[in-house]
Structure 1
């Protein structure tokens, strides 16, 4: 009898079942996934627009965890981005010490892995079927990152580990000088990605390998040996003697056979596709014409500094466009991003980078005619690096990087958004609605938590199919219910949220609109994070929460 096995291969780490609540100060905290501080859907607040309006390009300032959640769950963004991002490139901090100042050494890798896992899950939701994610890393976490990405994307969707030669100088102060980084590539659905990814155009060096010593009218060519390994499956007709133009004969090398049968070989000789050297006495080689090569070359996994640039090149690019700034320690050259974006996307596709740094990904994507979304936590970095850099790209005032190769002359624009504050506040261990949320923004914040399109259709503030959303910052009673129902069609339902609820109102609503419901906030929202989506909480009873979790404002 065949033995059956249970279990799966996975990487485990401390607090893997929790989420990481990080702070820009360098502190962090492990929390339950139901903790409102990580479960809440934050609003994206519009700050300004640069260049053309409605460009579809977004610069978001704030924690990438909140930004990705908002893109995935707020309907106005969800409809534009979920399942539609063609390329996600992320260049996260390579180790925990770069991100968190206060942590326990034994938890270092767990902190970093949790941070990455949480973001990769959202990125997967955003990727199109033919999309891919490229994660930049070094030796400190590369082997563990592969395991996490296997869990999120599936091992069958692993594409490659690209090795980038980031430097060509030797560091003599260490035991072995490391001159490369890794870029780990996974597809959302590899079978789809493999048919949609782009080939690379041949480089000048590769084209230089082609020549035309015999003035063949078909143009320049290179050549390959006309023999192959004589393994099983080779036919006897592939073993014979060939007469060269010089009159001398030649047999296949020991252990080898000719690529073709004798008849086929003679056809190729007649078509001038076999080269015997300038003197006609060399070993036969098969000509391959550049004009007959497919539209491009399959990318290889080792990228040299001559092809895509170095960290030093990247610093010079930033200095050239922002002369009065101190460049990042490890920026990425525009040629590196140009290659990634070329392989993984096409003009008009959406490119995502949730660790923006100096804004290279957005700058190159813009020059290459892609739409883009980029997220950066540091407000100083946004103001001092990213916005000035992207303004120059939009204005056609960035002559460096890939501007010439991309044929970029300026144009387009982008919207600058900021992650909104929490709609909750903790007062002495009790969670209350914040003053910000109750000062005219409550309906928008509630709509985001419940997945409703926020729309001003008084007296309603949101809609999901045939269900209306109404939010009352105050008492919901039978009068409020009757007023709202008067504005509804017979086949429409109502989800009514209020900071205080008269039990009589529930009875009236059930009678007037069976299937409709009333929620008391914030308790219903907090219970939803803890148990299930808030819109499915039964309105007949309140979920039992600890005092530290909830207090209503009635």
Structure 2
């Protein structure tokens, strides 16, 4: 019998984009840093990337694979609703395909003990869960948290109006899961401090609660007698003399006794011999308990919009922003200070703002103009210590740090006026070398001493990029300088005086490739937008002359099928519809 597996299928699932690994270009004028270092823990290498997030994820893959501790994303929910900043009413199959492409790269970016958190609602939550099961594995699913997003009734919204959203949580490796329990000082009110009679430095289990013994007597059939040190059945006794049994399973108590983790103290109380269990519960300096999965104690959408309006004066607030304390809680559970945090659907910049205040290093990606109208002004206020809302007060944040602003470089290959593919003339020599190094899997690191070392893949393997036509004499000189103990990939416009086969035989330490021919079949060149915005997809061009019906659907099945096919992502309809 062949091995089978469960999977989510959709038309066009097999179609995958051949992504171009773009380089990132910093714009120092948009980068921003605190004028003075506030503390030794200030972080300045945070990254804000303007551009399509699928291309940006691909651009980050070489440098950050296995290094990101936490990814939080808030993708468009595919609700068909029109928002002021974007319109996310995509066909279901296209949405699945575009999300799948991003999740696969995100998984590679995560560290072995990293985690992914996805904000979503009922429109796609359950399909997304199955999709994540396929990409990460069902064992990597942790739980789905519920966030209560409203704090007032939705009047006149009909019989049912959802007031919650989900946060799906996955880990990359279930055997290396890293989550920090919730520290809770209220636990101190439920346990006594170790006293002089304690023979172990553990916090005592409290038998008194609200003035009465906490052991239950209302369901005696669930309890059992406990063996004391002398082997005689003993019963904790209430102050009123009624008999009670400790509510822990007999097997559990016996195992604790066998391990020496449960000991007994003999006390006199009113002439009655009582056995009081002592058990290891919490270290005195760090009481913790598990995090709840229903989060109704965080800021709501209304409160978060009010915070945005106070920070971004005169700028329209997002309709559905996520609160900083939501992101802060996620980062508290899954990261430590200094860890890398990624949000590839940055929106208004909440992830970066919360991570910055918490001392985490962050990367955010945003394609929309909100990168400039919302994120940059907001982060500048965070850095200057002028953002008084969100988690500022809880974290005693006073400013500091900075970020670098990057944009995606244009496509490396463009067509000339005759339709022939050529190297983009906007690239200078350094950018071309960096781009080809990334395409070939080399780390771009120009040497200050060897002019032919533009990057390396190991200590002895290098890459050299030039737009010149190299002669046999030049190649011989280059081979001599590289030497027999090293190897060099030579990317040039052309080479003369020798064939490729002869070159490999004559210079075994050199590998020759012609540009741009060497990369033409590698990628889909010239495409700058893989976003989940329906107006940016190729399908939108087909019906530009026709008025769009409500909900961003297509007017008829024929044009819909054609558009989906042209989009390269498949559609919802079969061949024999």
Asked whether the 8 Å contact 2:225–2:245 carries over to 1, the reply is: no
The alignment status of 1:197 with 2:206, answered yes or no, reads: no
**Partner residue in 2 for 1:398:** 387
1:101-132 deviation line (CA, Å, top 9, x unaligned): 99999x81111111111111111111111110
CA shift in 2, pair 1:402/1:243, >3 Å: closer
Aligned to 1:128: 111
Q: Does 1:415 align with 2:397?
A: no
Structure 1 CA distance, aligned partners of 2:183 and 2:169? 20
Q: Does 1:50 align with 2:32?
A: yes
> Paired residues, what number?
482
Q: C-alpha distance in 1, partners of 2:462/2:516?
A: 19
Do the aligned partners of residues 216 and 337 (structure 1) sit closer, same or farther apart at CA in structure 2, a change above 3 Å counting? farther
Unmatched 5+ stretches in structure 1:
20-32, 531-554
Task: For 1:132-531, list aligned pairs within 5 A.
Answer: 132-171=115-154, 172-193=156-177, 196-202=178-184, 206=186, 210=190, 223=209, 224-226=214-216, 243-246=237-240, 248-250=241-243, 267=264, 270=267, 295-304=287-296, 307-378=297-368, 380-426=369-415, 430-437=420-427, 441-457=431-447, 458-465=451-458, 466-502=460-496, 504=498, 506=500, 509-529=503-523
User: Is the CA contact (8 Å cut-off) linking 2:75 and 2:345 kept in structure 1?
Assistant: yes
SS of match in other structure, 1:435: coil
SS at match of 1:517: strand
Deviation at 1:219?
Answer: 10
The worse-fitting range, judged by mean Cα deviation, of 503-512 and 315-324 is 503-512
Single out whichever of 179-188 and 392-401 deviates more from structure 2.
Answer: 392-401
Q: 2:39 matched to which residue of 1?
A: none
Tell me: higher relative CO, structure 1 or 2? Use CA pairs within 8 A at least 6 residues apart: 2
**Does the aligned pair in 1 maintain the 2:79–2:123 contact within 8 Å?**
no
Which whole-Å deviations, capped at 9, do the CAs of 1:381-417 have from their partners, x for residues lacking one? 1111111111111111112111111121111111111
Q: Aligned-residue CA RMSD in angstroms? A: 4.0
Q: Which residue of 1 aligns with 2:565?
A: none
Q: CA deviation at 1:425?
A: 1.6
Taking structure 1 as the reference length, what is the TM-score of the superposition?
A: 0.76
The 1:68/1:99 distance shift into structure 2, 3 A limit, reads farther
Alignment of 1:70-89 (within 5 A): 70-73=59-62, 78=63, 81-89=64-72
1:91 to 68, 71, 74: 74
Mind listing any 5+ residue stretches in structure 2 that lack a counterpart? 35-41, 198-202, 525-577
Per the TM alignment, residue 322 of structure 1 is displaced from its structure 2 partner at its CA by 1.5
Describe the SS at the equivalent of 2:320. coil
Q: Structure 1: how far apart are the matches of 2:401 and 2:191?
A: 42
Q: Provide closer, same or farther for how the CA distance between residues 241 and 447 of structure 1 changes in structure 2, counting only shifts above 3 A.
A: closer
CA distance 1:501–1:409, shift in 2 (3 Å): same
State yes or no: 1:63 paired with 2:52: yes
Partner Cα distance (1:258, 1:118) in 2? 49
For 2:245 and 2:472, the matched residues in 1 are separated by: 96
Query: Contact conserved, 1:437 with 1:445, CA < 8 A, in 2?
Result: no
Q: Distance in 2 between matches of 1:225 and 1:286?
A: 14
Whole-angstrom distance in 1 between the partners of 2:81 and 2:463: 44
- The answer on whether the counterparts of 2:146 and 2:165 sit within 8 Å (CA) in structure 1 is yes
